[in-house]
Structure 1
Amino acid sequence: MLTHIVLISLKDKSEESMQKMKEVLLSLKGQIPCLRFIEAGTDVVHSERSFDVGLYTKFDSLEDMEEYQVHPAHLKVLEYIKAAKESSVAIDYESES
């Protein structure tokens, strides 16, 4: 199983903007067959090192995650992220489940 995590810092740090990003990310649920699990949330701590929105996804394999990356639904969400983000970081790793 492959875990894909993305942390996003937004240009607009309002609660509305963070909620909108969360909704956009979660709109992928059910649209991409190889996406086994998706969860998104907004930061509640608001510390110096915090990001605004986090995305947690799971795939059966690296190949499935690569398929997800080029899926039209993901590309549409990616456009939104690129326009709204100040910065982002990601990690992809093999996981037990």
Structure 2
Amino acid sequence: MCHIVMWDVAGTTPEQRARAIATVQREFEGLRGRIPGMTSLEIGVDTSRISYACDVVLVTQFESVDALEAYATHPAHLEVRDRLEGLRIGRHQVDYPVAQRKAD
């Protein structure tokens, strides 16, 4: 399963927004290796600066739907979510199954 979440961050100045983005990035990177069933985690920061772009994207993959569901209530994830309260002001999410590719 692939789990993608995109956020806009709070801040009225570029410096405030940059600090919020760095905090979101650091917090989610801290989950690497701590969530059973999570097979990959990538967090990216938008460089386009176009008006409709989100500030940050999280792309994770999980072994199964069950692993993704367990992530939602995992204590480490909940701690991150709580620490980021108020920094993330807009949220978009997509979850979808990843097709297994055949070896060549």
CA distance in 2, matches of 1:80, 1:88: 16
Q: Which of structures 1 and 2 has the bigger CA Rg?
A: 2
Question: What are the within-5 Å matches in structure 2 for residues 1-97 of structure 1?
Answer: 2-12=1-11, 14-97=17-100
CA distance in 1, matches of 2:85, 2:18: 19
Contact 2:36 2:67 in 1 (8 A): no
CA distance in 2, matches of 1:82, 1:91: 21
Residues 37-96 of structure 1, C-alpha deviation per residue, up to 9 Å, x if partnerless? 000011101111111110000001111100111100000111133321111010000112
Q: CA deviation at 1:20?
A: 1.6
- Aligned residue identity for 1:54: V
Helix, strand or coil for the counterpart of 2:71? helix
Q: Stretches of 4+ moved more than 4 A in 1?
A: none
- TM-superposed CA distance for 1:27, in Å, is 0.6
TM-score (norm: length of structure 1): 0.91
The secondary structure found in structure 2 opposite 1:30 is: coil
Q: 4-13 or 52-61, which moves further after superposition? A: 4-13
Tell me the CA shift for residue 16 of structure 1: 2.3
Q: What is the TM-score normalised by the length of structure 2?
A: 0.85
- Structure 1 vs Structure 2: percent identity of aligned residues? 27
Distance 1:4 1:81 in 2: 19
Q: Aligned with 1:73: secondary structure?
A: helix
Supply the RMSD in Å over aligned alpha carbons: 1.3
